[in-house]
A = this chain, B = another copy of it.
Amino acid sequence: MWQSTASRRQFLPSWCIVIIRTKSQGSLTLENLNPNIIKLQYAVRGPLVIRAGALIKELAGGSSKPFNKVILANVGDAQAMKQQPITFIRQVVACASYPNLIKSGSMPADVKQRAKDILKSCAGQSVGAYTMSHGIELIRRHVAEYIEQRDGHKANWQDICLTAGASNGIKHVLELFCNKVDCKPTGIMIPIPQYPLYSATLTEFGIGHIRYYLDEDKGWALDINELERSFTDGSKTHAVRAIVVINPGNPTGQVLKRGNIEDIIKFAHKKNLLIFADEVYQANVYDKDSKFFSFKKVMTELGAPYSCCALASFMSISKGYTGECGLRGGWMELCNMDPKVQEHLYKAMSAMLCPPTIGQIVCDCVAKTPCCGEPSYELWEKERCAVLDSLKERSEMIVQAFNGMKGFKCNKVQGAMYAFPRIELSSKAVEAAKAAGKAPDVFYAFKLLEDCGICIVPGSGFGQKPGTYHFRTTILPQKPLLKEMLDTFQKFHQKFSEQYP
């Protein structure tokens, strides 16, 4: 490291200094880089995805490949897979961005009114002005109303904070935890498999990962005994201070039962844990026997003392039926957070000024949808249903296809946007992977990409029980493409199994 090197230089002959200078040149090197940044991994955009990007370029440049297109099934990005945006949302965004359109006759009256109302809440009546760091008050109020309608319980708009996507909010709340309490490292409980934002951000902040395993054999159920086991084990080395629950599950697609949520809340209360309720897929429930219950609702209905649990619930405009990933918007609701802590959180967020206004506007459209009778209602309802119905159909298609493939086992996709099948890999395949210097599931995924142009994320990016192999694929390719993808996949797997019997 250059600093120590510099101080040691005085004792060295000059030819040594030249060598050291060459080796440690530069103010930022791998040797003195923040080690948490080096350790951080984010599989959803990892080496496979970088390779997929290169393949897309190679194809565009006329290279010959065994496939004619790359299918990006690695990321929950509906519009990248040709899902059409909701017209109402885009009209409101266009009117608010270019208010001349409000004067023109071609936009529906409710769109114009919505844009006007939002602009009235912006400083200088412009989306180009900064907003409060926790978002535009009018929109925070609409979000509180949405939550009240969803849960049947009071929501305080002051506890709603708009964010540049759910990830951004989650990161801000995770940062509130210091990495040590009385010399004991802090730990936060995360499900395995998990969405890698959590592992990445915990690593970034030097916070320990206290893993609890979801039960694949019971449809990725969350077992309270496993929470107890995880907490007890984790507490030997860490001050365990919070628990992350993703419902509906990512990458696992399960939807928690109400009784299960009650047990988790009781557990969190007993152990004095803050609950991170990642509920960004709350509108994405496809299974007829499943229903989404928010942690806030269940906690409130459990009554005291459980209703006093500290809870942060996260929502996004990137998922649901909107899929507005690129516009970066979301919100969080903070329940029972120490008001002084909440003040510090809002203060820390203020250094990044504000979430993007356009993302905030989409939050408004998600929270306060067109009402029956308003000019935009019919089209909005039609578009929304078309998206959700099609997602439901695709969630069934994919599970059926995978379960029809030898060596595959795939739980029902009750909700969210992913399937996470388990694959059996022969010892020959495992050996070949080892020889290639890759984890077996990574080896499989790379081969699938290079042979077929299908980009998925290996299970190791989310965590899996040792000795098991999985991958995550989205259910987002539109039906004809999804069918093509599943057919190709089937052929690939057959060939792979023959190659590594």
Contact = CB atoms under 8 A, between A and B. Distances in A.
A351 B131 CA distance: 24
Contacts of A341: 26, 28-30, 33
B358 A356 contact: yes
Interface residues of A, number: 104
A344 B33 contact: yes
Nearest to A241: B27
A347 interface: yes
A200 interface: yes
A177 B3 CA distance: 13
Contacts of A133: 45
A322 B128 CA distance: 9
Given A28-B310, A126-B85, A326-B122, A344 B175 contact: no
A132 B436 CA distance: 28
Contacts of A38: 344
Interface string A125-159: 01111111100000000000000000000000000
Nearest to A312: B28
User: Max chain B CB contacts within 10 Å: which of A81, A168, A176, A355?
Assistant: A176
10 contacts: A3-B182, A6-B272, A28-B176, A40-B348, A41-B347, A79-B129, A83-B124, A90-B98, A130-B318, A164-B356
A85 B34 contact: no
A273 B310 CA distance: 43
A-B CB proximity, top 9 nearest? A80-B123, A94-B98, A326-B357, A80-B129, A79-B128, A45-B350, A3-B239, A34-B178, A27-B274
Interface stretch (A251-259, A287-295, A332-340, A394-402): A332-340
Given A27-B242, A327-B358, 6 more contacts: A33-B176, A37-B176, A79-B124, A164-B356, A197-B351, A328-B354
A32 B91 contact: no
A27 B273 CA distance: 5
A46 B343 CA distance: 11
A356 B356 contact: yes
Interface string A47-61: 000000100000000
B178 A42 contact: no
A153 B223 CA distance: 61
B97 A272 contact: no
Contacts of A182: 1, 3-4
A453 interface: no
Contact of A42 (B1, B168, B272, B351): B351
Contacts of A307: none
Contacts of A2: 272
Number of copies: 2
Contacts of A40: 344, 347-348, 351
Given A94-B94, A325-B128, A327-B127, A177 B28 contact: yes
Interface string A85-115: 1000011011001100100101000000000
A184 interface: yes
Contacts of A234: none
A184 B40 CA distance: 23
A352 interface: yes
A446 B75 CA distance: 49
A3 B352 contact: no
Contacts of A302: none
A354 B336 contact: no
A327 B357 contact: yes
Contact of A336 (B26, B85, B132, B168): B26
